[in-house]
């Protein structure tokens, strides 16, 4: 009897129950939609894009760049005729140099122009996520050298595995780095893992490592074009200490430590061959 009474009560109120259910489902859907839009979803294998960025109100989002009408494209200068061939001739002359002329210092304006060139590199969503720290003072170069050599002794003896150390043998590198104090310039290139908008909000930097690496490539070519030599280094386990030494903020991570200058008169380089075009290019 009681069961019958309850089921008739249920039947009587079914429109309100259904409405309540519908409302609850809609509310849940909106909440989920907002959560998905506002929280970063970590994409598998995409280590180089910004994550962990809580947004308060997805509907109030503004782009980091100003939204303006596009302007007509202007073709930049080129090296024609034979621009590509001439550039190849230039690029193939670049070698990593580990002995610098400490007495001959290139003028700073050349370094500035090279970094200007690097700053023209493309970057994810035009975030320009790079900082180029140019060190010229001997005391700072010596401090860099001391820090790097200290870690490199540990790297070579314990951190790097035997195959790695063996593979480096033909390059004749070791834990002693005179070029870090001899080279007239050290350029420490930091990738900015995130930035700050003009309004002081946290700005996402997409593909900061790829973008900064491309900028470094442009920098290497510009240095070569200026007749300067360089050495790309990635000192293992030194990033945080070098960042602190140069008083760079926590959003910056060291990507490359570049030694720059004129090669020493008696400079020698490993006898290396480059892969030929057929080995690096596949036509479809
Ligand atoms: C990502 C990267 C990291 C490197 N790290 C070092 C390094 O820590 N120390 C070093 O002496 N050379 C380093 N090099 C230089 C390479 O050994 C050099 O580019 C390679 O042997 C080819 O020689 P080349 O630059 O003369 O063509 C590095 C190069 C790259 C691209």
Ordered by start, the domain boundaries in the chain are 99-264
If you average pLDDT over every residue of the chain, what do you get? Answer: 91
pLDDT in tens, 89-122: 999 999 999 999 999 999 999 999 999 999 999 9
pLDDT at 4 over 60: no
CA of 247 to the centre of ligand 1 (A): 26
> DSSP E strands: which ranges in the chain?
130-135, 185-192, 194-196, 202-204, 229-233, 252-261
**Helix, strand, or coil (residue 66):** coil
Fold of 99-264: NADH Oxidase (3.40.109)
- CA–CA gap between residue 10 and residue 15 (Å, rounded): 10
The model's pTM is 0.85
CA of 25 to the centre of ligand 1 (A): 58
Cα Rg of the chain (Å, integer): 28
DSSP letters spanning 101-114? -TT----HHHHHHH
pLDDT, tens only, 174-199:
999 999 999 999 999 999 999 998 88
| Residue identifier of the C-alpha nearest atom 27 of ligand 1 | 95
Q: Rounded to the nearest whole angstrom, what is the distance from the C-alpha of residue 230 to the centroid of ligand 1? A: 10
Q: Which residue pairs from 69-72 have beta carbons closer than 8 angstroms and sit at least 24 positions apart in sequence?
A: none
In angstroms, what is the span from residue 181 Cα to ligand 1's centroid? 18
Whole-angstrom distance, CA of residue 37 vs CA of residue 51: 13
- Dist. CA 158 → ligand 1 center (Å): 20
Nearest atom (ligand 1) to Cα of 269: 26
pLDDT in tens, 167-179: 999 999 999 999 9
- Phi and psi angles of residue 203, each rounded to the nearest 5 degrees, phi first: -115, 130
pLDDT reported for residue 59: 82
Substitution candidate for ligand 1 out of 90, 96, 176, 188 with most atoms within 8 A of CB: 96
Burial 132-157 (b: 16+ CB within 10 A, else e): bbebeeeeebebbbebbbebbeebbe
Specify the higher pLDDT residue, 61 or 232: 232
Residue 15 vs residue 275, higher pLDDT? 275
With vertex at residue 27, the alpha carbon angle to CA 24 and CA 32, rounded to the nearest 5 degrees, is: 125
Smallest Cα–Cα separation from 245: which of 151, 157, 160? 151
Which residues, in sequence order, are CB contacts of 33 under 8 Å at separation 6+? none
Report how far residue 138's alpha carbon sits from residue 110's, in angstroms, rounded to the nearest whole number. Answer: 19
User: Residue 46: pLDDT band by 50, 70, 90 thresholds?
Assistant: low
- The set of protein residues with a Cβ atom below 6 angstroms from ligand 1 is 95-96, 98, 171, 173, 231-234, 269, 272
């Amino acid at each position: 009897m009681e069961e019958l009474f309850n089921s008739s009560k249920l039947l009587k109120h079914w429109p309100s129950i259904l409405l309540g259910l519908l409302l609850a489902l809609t509310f849940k859907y909106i909440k989920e939609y907002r959560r998905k839009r506002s929280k970063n979803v970590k994409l598998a294998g995409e280590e180089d894009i910004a994550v962990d960025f809580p947004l308060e109100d997805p509907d109030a989002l503004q782009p980091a760049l100003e939204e303006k009408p596009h302007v007509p494209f202007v073709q930049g200068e080129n090296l024609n005729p034979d621009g590509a061939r001439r550039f190849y001739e230039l690029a193939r002359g670049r070698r990593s140099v580990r002995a610098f002329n400490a007495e001959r210092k290139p003028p700073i304006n050349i370094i500035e122009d090279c970094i200007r060139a690097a700053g023209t590199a493309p970057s994810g969503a035009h975030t320009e996520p790079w900082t180029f720290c140019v060190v010229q003072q001997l005391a700072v170069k010596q401090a860099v050298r001391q820090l790097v050599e200290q870690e490199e002794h540990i790297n070579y003896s314990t951190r790097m595995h035997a195959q790695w150390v063996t593979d480096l043998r033909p390059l004749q590198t070791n834990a002693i780095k005179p070029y870090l104090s001899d080279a007239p310039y050290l350029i420490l290139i930091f990738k900015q893992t995130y930035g700050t908008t003009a309004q002081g909000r946290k700005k996402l930097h997409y593909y900061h490592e790829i973008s900064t690496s491309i900028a470094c490539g442009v920098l290497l070519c510009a240095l070569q074009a200026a007749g300067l030599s360089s050495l790309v280094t990635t000192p293992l386990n030194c990033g945080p200490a070098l960042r602190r030494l140069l008083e760079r903020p926590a959003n910056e991570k060291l990507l490359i430590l570049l030694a720059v200058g004129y090669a020493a008169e008696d400079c020698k380089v490993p006898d290396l061959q480059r892969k030929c075009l057929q080995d690096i290019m596949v036509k479809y």
